[in-house]
């Protein structure tokens, strides 16, 4: 990956700039979004390698390196992974990892320490 040599802190600072580019792409493509989950606080969801609540034990959200985006077209909420495919492709062109590869189409992240 393009960002694999960066530290966690460096990735956390790059991540929002990539998300902003993705947001610009969404709106330029005639779609809209709202934010879903981003950071998952370990007090609620457990730290890395701990499963608590609905969060996975290993989650890029816990590293501040993931966001879930709710996608809309003409006011209609698009829930299928396939609806996000064009966006996932753009995200991967930017160097990120798209959750559509494991059935979580609205998940956009940067990998760190093997966690996507």
115, two tokens? 């966690």
Q: Give me the count of residues in the chain.
A: 116
Closest to 102 in 3D by CA, of 86, 81, 84, 87: 81
Segments making up each domain of the chain, as ranges: 8-109
Is 11 within 8 Å of 110 (Cβ atoms)?
yes
Topology (CATH level 3) of domain 8-109? Muramoyl-pentapeptide Carboxypeptidase; domain 2 (3.30.1380)
Task: Please give the Cα distance from 83 to 72 (Å, whole number).
Answer: 9
Cβ-proximal residues to 83 (8 Å cutoff; 6+ apart), any chain: 71, 73, 105
Cβ-proximal residues to 41 (8 Å cutoff; 6+ apart), any chain: none
Q: Is the pTM of this model over 0.85?
A: yes
The confidence score (pLDDT) of residue 50 equals 59
The confidence score (pLDDT) of residue 57 equals 60
pLDDT tens series, the chain, 116 aa: 689 999 999 999 999 999 999 999 999 999 999 999 988 777 777 667 657 677 676 789 989 999 999 999 999 999 999 999 999 999 999 999 999 999 999 999 999 999 99
């Amino acid at each position: 990956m393009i960002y694999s040599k960066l530290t966690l802190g460096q990735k956390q600072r790059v991540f929002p700039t990539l998300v902003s580019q993705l947001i610009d792409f969404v709106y330029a493509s005639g779609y809209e979004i709202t934010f879903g989950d981003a950071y998952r606080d370990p007090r609620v969801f457990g730290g890395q390698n701990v499963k608590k609540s609905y969060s996975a034990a290993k989650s890029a959200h816990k590293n501040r390196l993931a966001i879930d985006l709710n996608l809309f077209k003409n006011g209609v909420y698009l829930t299928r992974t396939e609806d996000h495919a064009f966006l996932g492709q753009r995200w991967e062109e930017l160097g990120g990892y798209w959750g559509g590869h494991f059935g979580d189409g609205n998940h956009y992240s940067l990998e760190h320490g093997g966690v996507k």
